[in-house]
Structure 1
Amino acid sequence: MVIFQILPSHKSCVYGWMKQLPYEIGRIRQGISVENALTMFDGLNLQEVIRMSGVENVENLILVDNEWALSTVKVVGYPNNYNQYQLAAIFYNFHIVHIHFEGDSAVVSFINKFHAAQAVMTFDGFKLDSNHVLSVTPLSDIVKEQVNLV
């Protein structure tokens, strides 16, 4: 599978993730700066350029990939204006594979069950500010077991 990834800037952490992921999951990635993407697609009908059903299918494949499905957590309590980069910055010590927003919560997939368990133990109940306290809960039994071992 070839993945084209829009990069916010050339020196962003997303660029580093893009470079690491092909080795972890065996897929080809091509980074495109946001400026180049906007220039290339300016004036085009994006429905003709990108089939949205294809995007949804890729997103679903990512969420059910075997290792990632075992290492997912649900995150609630962050500010509602956060995007995936701001949410990922909270977990900067851990290797995040994918973030999927669902309403007022997010499903965060880590590289393995150990990163997911450490994220739960470190950030569940973490106070971001006076109005926001994170709730980080494992979605798989294997991560729950890792958390309970400690």
Structure 2
Amino acid sequence: MKTLRITTLAIFATAAIYAQDLKQNEVPTNLLNAFQKTYSNASDVEWELDSETYKVEFDLNDLEQEIWYTKDGIIVKREMEITEKDLPSAVLSAIKSKYVGYKIDSIELIEMDNKKTYEVELEKGWTQELKVVFDVNGDVLSSVED
């Protein structure tokens, strides 16, 4: 848990150095219009400029989402918080067979380069935490103790 706090702090410090918060009127009109058209029900919308990529963080139906756009409006990455019922059955089966005794704490769907992965945080008791990344077939791509 201590490692997680230090890592999180480092990420926020790095992001603060390289990412620039934007006001809505500073976002290119084409990006803003495309976002608002697709996500008209979004709340808590925050924009950032990181190098040449525009990132928007927002809530939709009480789930957090992040989208990275090029300046031309092309989506290069999307991260969406999802619920257990939204997991592919292959991923759910892999969790039940490979991580007996663990409970799902949170799930994030990541879409990038036309590929989907599922980052699942698992807990067992009060002290054991794992962050496991699965592909759509339920294969483990990475597993790290938190």
What TM-score bracket applies, with the shorter chain setting the length? under 0.3
- Structure number having the greater strand percentage: 2
TM-score (norm 2): 0.27
From the two aligned structures, give the one with the greater helix fraction: 1
Q: TM-score, normalised by structure 1?
A: 0.26
**Structure of higher RCO (CA pairs closer than 8 Å, 6+ residues apart):** 1
